[in-house]
């Protein structure tokens, strides 16, 4: 969904209701930066410039997270990615095709 469509509010509620893991891409990135990893340093440099991170970097973080036992057992709700059809295609190629997609829309004048 578009900015201010409620994604960040709805995703945790859905994951809580279905006992799935809520994966926020923003939270993943911030945790990676805090941990001081090489991937975190790359992410930080993009974020400090206000630039969008490369899709492959984000996919690496998502894939690593979804391979954890809690995600494998309970499923997961992804918040903040993909942002477009190209990224959705990259997710599918990476073996991260979702079972369902929820799109939140709002008028452009909000």
| Reported CATH class of domain 7-93 | alpha beta
Q: How far is CA 28 from CA 25, 47, 75, in A?
A: 5, 13, 17
Q: List pLDDT tens digits, range 83-106.
A: 889 999 999 999 998 888 877 776
Distance CA 101, CA 103 (A): 6
Distance CA 32, CA 29 (A): 5
The confidence score (pLDDT) of residue 2 equals: 46
The confidence score (pLDDT) of residue 63 equals: 96
Domain spans in the chain, listed from the N-terminal domain onward? 7-93
The confidence score (pLDDT) of residue 6 equals: 54
Q: List pLDDT tens digits, range 14-72.
A: 888 889 999 999 999 999 999 999 999 999 999 999 998 999 999 999 999 999 999 99
């Amino acid at each position: 969904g578009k900015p201010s469509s409620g994604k960040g509010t709805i995703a945790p509620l859905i994951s809580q209701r279905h006992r799935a893991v809520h994966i926020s891409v923003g939270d993943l990135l911030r945790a990676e930066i805090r941990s001081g990893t090489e991937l975190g340093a790359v992410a930080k440099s993009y974020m400090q410039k206000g630039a969008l991170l490369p899709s492959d970097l984000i996919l690496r973080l998502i894939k690593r997270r979804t391979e954890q036992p809690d995600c494998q057992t309970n499923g997961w709700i992804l918040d903040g990615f993909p942002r477009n059809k190209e990224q959705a295609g990259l997710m599918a190629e990476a073996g991260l095709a979702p079972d369902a997609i929820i799109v939140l829309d709002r008028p452009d004048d909000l």
